[in-house]
Amino acid sequence: MLEKLKQRWRVSGLSLVLIITTFALGGSLCGWAGRKLLLLMNIDKGIAWILLYIVFITLLWPISVLIVSIPLGQFAFFKKYIARVLNKLQGKMATNTQSIAIFASGAGSNAKVIIEYFNQPVRENLARIRLIVCNKPGAGVLNIAKEYNIPVLLIEKDRFFNGDAYLPEIKKYNIDMLVLAGFLWKLPAALINTYPKKIINIHPALLPAYGGKGMYGMHVHNSVIGNKEKESGISIHFADELYDHGEIIFQAKCPVSDSDTAETLAQKIHALEHRHYPAVIETIVEKQNMS
Task: List, by residue number, the catalytic residues.
Answer: 203
How open is the CA angle 116-119-120, to the nearest 5 degrees?
100
- Do 118 and 127 meet the contact criterion of CB atoms below 8 Å apart? yes
Distance of alpha carbon 215 from alpha carbon 74, whole angstroms: 38
Helix (H, G, I), strand (E, B) or coil at 85: helix
- Do 151 and 132 meet the contact criterion of CB atoms below 8 Å apart? yes
Task: Compute the CA torsion angle 43, 49, 52, 53 (nearest 10 deg).
Answer: 110
**Chain centroid offset of residue 121 CA:** 16
Q: What φ, ψ does residue 276 adopt, rounded to 5°? A: -105, -30
Distance of alpha carbon 93 from alpha carbon 189, whole angstroms: 31
- Do 266 and 218 meet the contact criterion of CB atoms below 8 Å apart? yes
Q: Residues 57-70, buried b or exposed e (16+ Cβ, 10 A)?
A: beebbbebbbbbbe
Distance of alpha carbon 128 from alpha carbon 283, whole angstroms: 14
Strand partners, 200: 179, 238
Q: What φ, ψ does residue 52 adopt, rounded to 5°? A: -65, -40
Distance of alpha carbon 224 from alpha carbon 155, whole angstroms: 32
- Do 178 and 144 meet the contact criterion of CB atoms below 8 Å apart? no
